Amino acid sequence: MKLMHISDLHLGKRIFEYSMIEDQKYILKQIVGIVESEKTDGVIIAGDVYDKPIPSVEAVELLDDFLRSLVKKNQKIFIISGNHDSAERISFASSILKESGVFVSPVFDGNIRPVNMKDEQGECNIYMLPFVKPSTVRNVYENAEVVDYTDAIKCVIEHMDIDKSKNNILVMHQFVTGATICDSEEKSIGGLDDVSGEILKDFEYVALGHIHGPQKVGSDNIRYCGTPLKYSFSEVKHKKSVTILDIKEKGNINIDTVPLIPRKDMYEIRGTYDEITSRQFYEGKDFKEGYLQITLTDEEDIPGAISKLRCIYPYIMKLNYDNTRTKTSGEIDGSENVQEKTPIELFSELYVLQNGMELTEDQKNYMKDMIEEIWG
């Protein structure tokens, strides 16, 4: 049998106030196309279905359309809630959905029953574990010694009735030690939410969500499939894909990926304002119609730069400066009596600290006139 592993859809997400809903519609339609071309039997969605615990109406409608499309393709669907989701909202109507082959993890109560799939080559049990914290597990297993996330997941696994004669798949939304994270993911201090991969050895495959970059962790069978779209500029170099599991007899699972092509890609470009606005720089380039982070290297700020640049690059998400001013930081020296300095001297020192350069004569004269006018 074949299963597709996806996660972290973050439906309804906005990036720098840009709604990603049209991009998400586009990529979900592409995923349905891959389901058809790969002839999969089921789809695993490993958490963070929505971007917020209370999703927008259009995000809910988009998930509804996506699930309906998959059901029409005779897919079994396995969904768990992630840290961005409300477990209660995700599990709403789960008993009715089950009748259509859509299996949703309930709010965690310690009772995780596997969903069984079988074909002529064998059987596979799928265990769906929603995102949990140590406190969640302690509330369910009152006598268990649960100090950290590894203890929590280990305790949950020990209470599963795992039939080791079959292929077993765990769907989980946690941070497994050794995974590489990026700026669009929530970070903990000192790795407090790490889960050791050592406790996952009873599973032939662990379908992970939570980390946005596709990667294996420790072994080929413990894998993050990554997000279907880039959700921050720290993901610019990511190659997004879906993961395909070809499950045969016990212990024999082939893992492959199929690339995803976004509606609009993300790019980072840098240079002076004159360089970036020159036709030679942008003519015929893919990034012209992509989502952009532009870094200007001019020493002086360009008045109204982002509005002017949008005439050429309509989808600028972020504008930065990288120059002497942004590279210089410092503190005001309080060793001298500030009362002995003139206002223009004090302002000049502040300007140097903030911008890494002296005021020009024109700027000094402008400030002197402004100070005199205000004080007058």
Q: What is the pLDDT of residues 104-144, one digit of tens each?
A: 999 999 999 999 998 887 789 999 999 999 999 999 998 88
pLDDT averaged over the chain?
Answer: 90
Q: What is the pLDDT of residue 327?
A: 73
- State the average pLDDT over residues 274-302: 93
Weakest mean pLDDT among 27-36, 63-72, 169-178, 326-335: 326-335
| Sole residue written with tokens 């004269």 | 365
Beta bridge partners of 255: 245
* Residue 170: both structure tokens together: 């765990």
Note the pLDDT of residue 186.
59
Of 229, 227, 182, 193, nearest in space to 208 by CA: 227
In this prediction, residue 337 carries a pLDDT of 56
Q: Which of 87, 83, 80 is nearest to 126 (CA)?
A: 80
Residue 160 scores a pLDDT above 90: yes
DSSP at 359 = P
Which tokens is 224 given? 């993050």
Share of the chain above pLDDT 90, in %: 71
**Which pLDDT score, from 0 to 100, does residue 376 have?**
60
Q: Which of 117-121, 133-137, 174-178, 338-342 has the lowest mean pLDDT?
A: 338-342
Indicate if the alpha-carbon torsion angle 120, 121, 125, 131 is positive or negative. Answer: negative
Instruction: Give percent above pLDDT 70 in the chain.
Output: 93
Nearest to 21 by CA among 9, 29, 13: 13
Neighbours of 294 (CB within 10 A): 22
* Mean pLDDT on 63-90: 96
263 pLDDT band, cuts 50/70/90, is very high
pLDDT at 331: 45
The amino acid at 286: D
pLDDT at 333: 47
Q: Which residues pair with 253 in a beta bridge?
A: 247
pLDDT at res. 32 = 98
**Under the phi-then-psi rule, with left for phi > 0, alpha for psi from -120 to 50, and beta for the rest, what region is 119?**
beta
Distance separating alpha carbons of residues 280 and 19, to the nearest angstrom? 31
pLDDT of 351 above 60:
yes
Q: What is the DSSP letter of 119?
A: E
Whether residue 324 has pLDDT greater than 70: yes
CA–CA separation, 156 and 129 (whole Å):
9
Give yes or no for a contact between 146 and 137, defined as CB atoms under 8 angstroms apart: yes
Burial 165-201 (b: 16+ CB within 10 A, else e): ebbbbbbbbbbbeebeebebbeeeeeeebbbbbebbe
Please tell me which residue, 263 or 333, carries the higher pLDDT value: 263
Which two structure tokens, joined as six digits, stand for 209?
């969500």
The mean pLDDT value for 284-301 works out to 92
Q: Which of 47-61, 263-277, 350-364 has the lowest mean pLDDT?
A: 350-364
Q: Does 351 or 87 have the greater pLDDT score?
A: 87
Confidence of residue 272 (pLDDT cuts 50, 70, 90): very high
> Letter for the amino acid at 230?
K
What is the per-residue pLDDT for 340?
Answer: 64
Backbone φ and ψ for 81, nearest 5 degrees, come out as: -85, 145
Predicted local confidence at residue 192, as pLDDT: 64
- What confidence score (pLDDT) does residue 190 get? 42
Can you tell me the mean pLDDT for 288-307?
A: 92
- Cα–Cα distance between 198 and 98 in angstroms, integer? 32
Mean pLDDT on 177-194: 66
In this prediction, residue 235 carries a pLDDT of 94
Distance CA(192)–CA(133), nearest Å, equals: 11
- The Cα 76–Cα 59 span in angstroms is 21
Instruction: Say if residue 188's pLDDT is above 60.
Output: no
User: What mean pLDDT comes out for the span 66-93?
Assistant: 96
Q: How confident is the model at residue 347 (pLDDT cuts 50, 70, 90)?
A: confident
Mean pLDDT over 337-366 rounds to 78
> Tens digit of pLDDT for each residue in 9-64?
999 999 988 999 999 999 999 999 999 999 999 999 999 999 999 999 999 999 99
CB neighbours of 234 closer than 8 A, spacing ≥ 6?
A: 182, 183, 184
Instruction: From 17, 3, 93, select the one nearest 45 (Cα to Cα).
Output: 3
- Residue 8 CB neighbour total at 10 angstroms: 28
Give mean pLDDT, residues 204-223.
94
Mean pLDDT of 316-344: 70
Residue 276, classed as helix, strand or coil, is helix
Predicted confidence at residue 317, as pLDDT, reads: 93
pLDDT at 332 over 60: no
